Amino acid sequence: MRNRLFLWVPLALFAFFAGLAAFMLTQPKDEFVESTMIGQPLPDFALKPAFGGLPGAAKADLVGGQPRLLNVWASWCLPCIAEAPQLEELRQKGVEIVGIAIRDRPEDVADFLARYGNPYSRVGSDPISEVQLAIGSSGVPETFVIDSKGIIRYQHIGDIRESDVPKLMAELEKAR
Amino acid sequence: MTAEIGLAALWLAAALAVLQMVSGFAGLRAPADAAHPLAIYTRPAAIVQACLAVLAFFMLLRAFAVTDLSLKLVAANSHSMKPFIYKVTGTWGNHEGSMLLWVGVLAASGGLLARFERRLPERTIGATLAVQGFVALGFYAFLLLSSNPFERLPVPAAEGSGLNPLLQDIGLAVHPPTLYAGYVGLSVAFSLAMGALLTREVNPSFARVMRPWVLGAWVLLTLGITAGSYWAYYELGWGGWWFWDPVENASLMPWLAATALMHSVSVLAARDALRTWTIMLGVLAFSMSMLGTFLVRSGVLTSVHAFAVDPERGAFILALLAINIGGAFTVFALRAGAVAEGKRFAAVSRESALVFNNVMLSAILAIVLLGTLYPLLTEAFDVRVSVGPPYFNPAAAMFAIPMLLVMAVGPLLRWREDKPARLQFELALLASVAIAVIALIAVLGDFPLLPLLGLGLAPALALAAVLPLRGRRLARVPVATWGMVIAHFGIAVSLFGMACEGAFTEERLAAVAPGGTEQVGDFAVTLDSVAPVAGPNWTAIEATLSVSEDGGPPVILTPQARTFWSPPQSTSESALLTRWNGQLYAVIGNQTEDGRWQVRLWWKPFVTFIWLGGMLVALGGVLAIAGRVRVDLRRRMAAQKGAERRADLEALGAQPVPAE
């Protein structure tokens, strides 16, 4: 018997890999990048109006009073259309929603809001994703809960589905 | 009807794969001198199976060519407005279609093996084809049960959703088919290794049968990787040519294994040494191909190559991997001990240089594999990491540099035993070239270490590559030796390109107002105008740049930022100005608020040498195949003539003369 044991090494290594890969396949894949800004105060910003109909958005507009939602969206984003009814529902429940339109044009923003409804109190224009990146958002749409002190309390990634509305309401309540 | 014919062909092919497998393995059970009654079916089954799989692929090709929107796959990946060429290439621009191409090539190579290979004992071929059928069966099951390319929609779609715009490029026509043919060509090496192991026929004649397959697959992989690298370079608009992305690594790993295998199979063919090691590499090379397929399609790793990711499919491929690779390693562990030890050789000999090269290639393979799988390991513990160039470059170079040094010397050594003293002159020459160049460049400027070493090594390697021709009559040098010389020379050329790109690239990122000029390298680049343009399925912002080299007449470059509408996505179309000594690379970005445009310019000296070198390496491989096949045919004809002559003499009643 020449040392035969080492002949089993490739199989052992492969078995380890296969086990690991099988384990990882069963894990839910979390594709989202969470903001490291949660729990931190909003960075300072002041954005110009995204279109003629509403004022722009600044940090000062999100501080004081009731907790608000900060919604990062764009007229060119399809999931943003899907979440429009849910935003409208939140607005009807008395939530103030401040929008940030990413890399957008005024006429497209106005067109989008005319077609799918306007839940916003203000919409700022962020043409080069400056504010978006500063608050730790990596895609559209994303929605943040901002408390009265201007601290980011919660981040929702992706479109808001019907089932997400209670969770957001609860987070807004917690931020009170 | 097309789709139904294709689907029927696939099912039939799968059934034939079963017959091929059963009859091939049955042949193993018969006593050594008698043929099993089932064994006669193995070869025909493989040939017909190959025809059916290829037929199925052509049926899908046709559905894409005519944009048959009643097929789910076509509706999801094509569009009636797409240019015709991209309709056709779109066939393999998606998961199901590319898997069908994979299986088609797998079956076709099995069919070719069955039709033309007559040198090995019938038992070994039977076992080889049985393994080939076994592997194919797994992939047929995968296609038919979980990724049926011929699925019809209940109601035909009105319009397709289009092909990913990054894939609407001539690169898609070339890169995936060559790469796949290379990946899957390695399946023959895998099956041959298994067949030889099962029938205990690991010997030089087996190696000679395996060699052209390995060479062929290796040439295709080299071409595929070279084409892919150039494609990513100009299409992604990032200016880089290699990103150590998991998918790129997935193609590099089989190439590394195949490179090692190609060298060790040569040792086995010429010297009857490295038996077990060659078998191991044969298994490893195709395992890496399958592993790559798994990594790309299962979504366990995140990559810029957004393939249709589906954990369920991932589980299916993982099961296939476990059966194929696990099974092969088990057979290896059980049988390899019984393979008789090959011939021995001295520490200084061509064999040991090749062994060293093999070990280094395997070490690089291990480095790449570890770096690729490491995120998978850490994610199991909820830590997200991204392994990039800071790990891969130095870790791979650590083994690549010794390997290249030995590559320079190895071809000069004699088989079996040699004395270093015999090569004093060559060694001194090569060392002084490398050291002189490094010293010169280090004096001229401050460059990073790796490009500096590369710049020194490249001329020494180029010189070393042609040294084996010294003192030989060039007309009498065998074609295969020319192949080696050119391939090694190509490595030097490619290394030179990489080192120059790393050391001398100049980058300029500026916001330019129309009429403004930027200087990069010897070029003055003026932004003449920016205007919208439209193509068949896209609109774009196109910048007109007039480029003047050293104050010479201007050349117009037109980089674009394209927006495709189906699916909605934007791409950056770089514009390239190629000179013999490098490329100017221009990309247009966004408009700034004050109306200026972001323009990104690179001057990359000798960057084209990277791909030129890759093509030379592949050409070397082609020459090696041509040389081997020619020698082989001649030998076969001589043997045939000898046999005929003996038969004639016997018929005349004379004494048979001994064979040559």
pLDDT tens across A75-124, in order? 877 778 888 889 999 999 989 999 999 878 888 888 889 888 899 999 99
Q: Which residues of B touch A127 (CB under 8 A)?
A: 593
- B chain contacts of residue A27, beta-carbon cutoff 8 Å: 379-380
The mean of the pLDDT values for chain B is 87
> What is the pLDDT, as a whole number, of residue B317?
86
Assess if residue B622 is contained within a domain.
Answer: no
Residue among A117, A118, A121, A113 at smallest CA distance from A66? A121
Q: Reply yes or no: is the peptide bond before residue B83 cis, omega within 30 of 0.
A: no
**Cα pseudo-dihedral B496, B498, B504, B509, rounded to 10:** 160
Which residues fall within 8 angstroms of residue B7, CB to CB, at 6 or more apart? B56, B148, B150
C-beta atoms of B593 and A29 within 8 A: no
Strand B523-534 relative to strand B538-549, pairing: antiparallel
Higher pLDDT, B95 or B129: B129
Find out whether B10 and B53 touch, Cβ atoms under 8 Å: yes
Residues 6+ apart with CB under 8 A from B130: B20, B21, B22, B23, B24, B25, B27, B28, B42, B195
User: Which helix or strand (DSSP H or E) is residue B18 part of?
Assistant: helix B2-29
Residue B508 tokens read as 């300029």
DSSP B36-100: -GGGGGHHHHHHHHHHHHHHHHHHHHHHHHTT-TTBHHHHHH--TTS-HHHHHHGGGSSHHHHHH
Query: Which tops the pLDDT comparison, B74 or B651?
Result: B74
CA dist B646 and B520 (Å) reads 75
| Residue B606 Rama label (left phi>0; alpha psi -120 to 50; beta) | left
At residue B459, does pLDDT exceed 50? yes
Instruction: State whether the Cα torsion B201-B203-B204-B210 is positive or negative.
Output: positive
Q: Give a yes or no: residue A155 inside a domain.
A: yes
Distance CA B597, CA B528 (A): 11
Q: Which of B168, B198, B222 represents a domain boundary (last residue)?
A: B168
What pLDDT band is residue B157 in, cutting at 50, 70 and 90? confident
Percent of chain A past pLDDT 90, that is, above it, reads: 19
Burial state string for A27-61 with b = 16 or more CB within 10 A and e = fewer than 16: eeeeeeeebebeeeebeebebebbbeebebbbbeb
Residue B283: its chain A contacts at CB < 8 A?
A: 10
Mapped onto helix, strand or coil, the DSSP state of residue B17 is helix
DSSP state of B580: T
3-state secondary structure chain A: CCCHHHHHHHHHHHHHHHHHHHHHHHCCCCCCCCCCCCCCECCCCECCECCCCCCCCEHHHHCCCCCEEEEEECCCCHHHHHHHHHHHHHHHCCCCEEEEEECCCHHHHHHHHHHHCCCEEEEEEECCCHHHHHCCCCCCCEEEEECCCCEEEEEEECCCCHHHHHHHHHHHHHCC
Please tell me the predicted confidence (pLDDT) of residue A28.
65
In a domain, A41, yes or no: no
More confident residue, B510 or B82: B510
Sequence letter at residue A68: R
What is the rounded distance in angstroms from the CA atom of residue B356 to the CA atom of residue B360?
A: 6
pLDDT at B493: 96
Question: What is the 3-state secondary structure of B507-523?
Answer: EEEEEECCCCEEEECCE
Domain housing A148? 46-174
* Minimum-distance CB partner of B333 among A11, A24, A127: A11
Flag if A29 and B329 touch (Cβ within 8 Å). Answer: no
Bridge partners, residue A46, by sequence:
A58
Whether residue B326 and residue A18 make contact (CB cut-off 8 A), yes or no, is yes
- How far is B94 from chain A, CA to nearest CA, in Å? 21
pLDDT band at B164 (very low <50, low <70, confident <90, very high): low
Task: Return the pLDDT at A1.
Answer: 42
Asked if residues B71 and B153 have their Cβ atoms less than 8 Å apart, the reply is yes
Return the amino acid letter for B43. R
Asked whether the predicted pLDDT for residue B306 surpasses 50, the reply is: no
Q: Which of residues 114-133 of A touch B (CB under 8 A)?
A: 127-128
Residue the block writes with tokens 């092969």:
B328
Is residue B149 in some structural domain? yes
If 0-12 CB within 10 Å is exposed, 13-18 middle and 19+ buried, where does residue B384 land?
Answer: exposed
pLDDT band at B660, cuts 50/70/90?
very low
In this model, does residue B623 exceed pLDDT 50? yes
| pLDDT on residue B573 | 85
Ramachandran assignment for B370, one of left (phi > 0), alpha (psi -120 to 50 degrees), beta (any other): alpha
Per-residue pLDDT reduced to its tens digit, B52-68? 999 999 999 999 999 88
Return the CATH number at A106.
3.40.30.10
| B101 part of a folded domain | yes
- Answer with the residue of higher pLDDT: B538 or B71: B71
Residue B536 has pLDDT above 90, yes or no: no
Give the whole-number percent of chain B exceeding pLDDT 70: 94
CA distance B193 to B173: 32
Q: Which long-range contacts (CB under 8 A, 24 or more apart) does A29-35 make?
A: A29/B299, A29/B311, A31/B302, A32/A157, A32/A158, A33/A138, A33/A157, A34/A136, A34/A155, A34/A157, A35/A135, A35/A136, A35/A137, A35/A144, A35/A152, A35/A155
Number of domains in chain B: 2
Residue B278 falls inside a structural domain: no
Q: Report yes or no: B361 and B260 within 8 Å, Cβ to Cβ.
A: yes
Quick one: tokens of B471? 């003192």
Q: In the structure encoding, which two tokens stand for residue B348, read together?
A: 């200084």
Q: Is residue A70 part of a domain?
A: yes
- At B448 the pLDDT is 87
Q: Are B44 and B19 in contact (CB under 8 A)?
A: no
Any domain includes A13: no
The pLDDT score that the predictor gives to residue B231 is 85
Encoding tokens for residue A79? Answer: 């999931």
B162: which DSSP letter? -
What's the CA gap between B469 and B462, in Å, rounded?
12
Tell how far CA B241 is from the center of its chain: 16
Contacts of B326 in chain A (CB under 8 A): 11, 14-15, 18
Q: Is A145 exposed, middle or buried (0-12, 13-18, 19+ CB in 10 A)?
A: buried
Which of A2, A11, A13, A81 to probe by mutation at the B interface, max B CB count within 10 Å? A11
- Cα–Cα distance measured from residue B399 to residue B411, given in angstroms and rounded to the nearest whole number: 19
| Domain stops at, among B168, B195, B221 | B168
Is residue A98, in this structure, part of any structural domain at all? yes
The whole-angstrom separation of Cα A153 and Cα A157 is 13
Residue A132 has pLDDT above 90, yes or no: no
The answer to which of A8-22, B68-82, B440-454 has the lowest mean pLDDT is B68-82
Q: Are A71 and A35 in contact (CB under 8 A)?
A: no
Give percent of chain B above pLDDT 90: 42
Whether B37 maps to a domain, the answer reads yes
Domain for residue A5, yes or no?
A: no
Place of tokens 């010479």: B552
Q: Tell me the pLDDT tens digit for each residue of B194-223.
A: 999 998 888 898 899 999 999 999 999 999
**Which B-chain residues 528-567 have CB contacts (< 8 A) with chain A?**
none
Q: What is the pLDDT of residues A28-50, one digit of tens each?
A: 655 556 667 788 888 888 898 98
Across B278-302, b (16+ Cβ under 10 Å) vs e yields bbbbbbbbbbbbbbbbbbbbbbbbe
Residues of A (13-52) whose Cβ lies below 8 Å from B: 14-15, 17-18, 20-27, 29, 31
- Name residue A71's beta-bridge partners: A99, A143
Pairing of strands A97-102, A120-126: parallel
Closest-CA residue to B12 (of B40, B42, B54): B54
The residue among B437, B418, B566, B557 whose CA lies nearest residue B492 is B437
Q: Render pLDDT for B231-279 as a digit per residue (tens, 0 to 9).
A: 888 877 677 888 888 888 889 999 999 999 999 999 999 888 888 899 9
Instruction: Say which residues have a Cβ less than 8 Å from residue B502's Cβ, sequence separation at least 6.
Output: B448, B450, B451, B454
Q: Mean pLDDT for chain A?
A: 85
Q: How many domains does chain A have?
A: 1
Q: Is A7 on the interface with B (CB under 8 A)?
A: yes
Examine the fold and report which residue of B606, B635, B651 is the final residue of a domain before the chain moves on.
B606
Structure tokens given for B636: 């076969």
**B374 Cα to chain A: minimum distance (Å):** 11
C-alpha to C-alpha distance for B210 and B208, rounded to whole angstroms: 5
Amino acid B545: pLDDT = 92
Can you tell me the distance from the alpha carbon of B104 to that of B596, in angstroms, rounded to the nearest whole number? 52
Residues of chain A with Cβ-Cβ distance to B330 below 8 Å are 11
What residues of chain A lie within 8 A of the CB of B322, using their CB?
A: 18
Does the residue B255 lie in any domain? Answer: no
Q: How many CB atoms are closer than 10 A to CB B535? A: 13
**Residue A34: inside a domain:** no
Identify whether A130 is part of a domain. Answer: yes
Using an 8 Å CB-CB cutoff, list chain B residues near A21: 294, 298, 300, 318, 376
SS3 B365: helix
Domain containing B123 equals 1-168
